[in-house]
């Protein structure tokens, strides 16, 4: 249970940081992956989709980490989200070719969260639910 809870807290902390940065300064992170925001509409979309969604998802994970009955749904969601991000980026590399270093850092971080989540989920499955 501890690994699942720790993984939820770590991913939530990362999402809160990313979300806050995307809300207040969207270009600070988009330039790291060579994405430009040429219009105010583009910036508004990034603030909502990356800032707001990241913060909302982080708050969900924090809620899951704090409630025993929410731990399993939270870790399942974390595994699916971090796994989806990791697979999506890897497919991007396979389809589009090599990328800048920051993409590889994201793959490593999200992949590590995915693996930690899987291990935490597995440990939860072996525990007494009572």
Q: What is the model's pLDDT at position 65?
A: 97
1 vs 98, which has greater pLDDT?
Answer: 98
| Structure confidence at residue 130 (pLDDT) | 45
pLDDT of residue 28: 87
Mean pLDDT value of segment 75-87: 98
How much is the pLDDT for 1? Answer: 81
pLDDT, mean of residues 65-82:
97
- 12-69: per-residue pLDDT in tens? 999 999 999 999 999 988 998 899 999 999 999 999 999 999 999 999 999 999 999 9
Instruction: Quote the pLDDT of residue 107.
Output: 97
75, 121 in Cβ contact below 8 A?
A: yes
Percent of the chain at pLDDT > 90 equals 91
Show Cβ contacts of residue 8 under 8 Å, excluding neighbours closer than 6 positions. 61, 62, 64, 65, 71, 74, 75, 78
For residue 127, pLDDT over 70 is answered with yes
Q: For the chain, state the CA radius of gyration.
A: 16
| pLDDT number for residue 128 | 56
Residue 78 CA to residue 116 CA, distance in Å, equals 10
């Amino acid at each position: 249970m501890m690994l699942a809870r720790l993984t939820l807290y770590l991913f939530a902390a990362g999402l809160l940081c990313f979300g806050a940065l995307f809300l207040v300064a969207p270009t600070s992170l988009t330039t790291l992956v060579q994405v430009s925001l040429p219009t105010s509409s583009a910036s508004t979309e990034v603030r909502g989709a990356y800032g707001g969604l990241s913060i909302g998802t982080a708050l969900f994970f924090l809620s899951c980490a704090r409630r025993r009955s929410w731990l399993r749904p939270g870790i399942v969601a974390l595994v699916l989200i971090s796994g989806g991000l990791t697979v999506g980026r890897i497919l991007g590399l396979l389809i589009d070719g090599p990328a800048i270093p920051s993409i590889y850092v994201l793959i490593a971080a999200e992949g590590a969260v995915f693996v930690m989540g899987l291990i935490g989920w597995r440990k939860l499955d072996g525990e007494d639910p009572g």
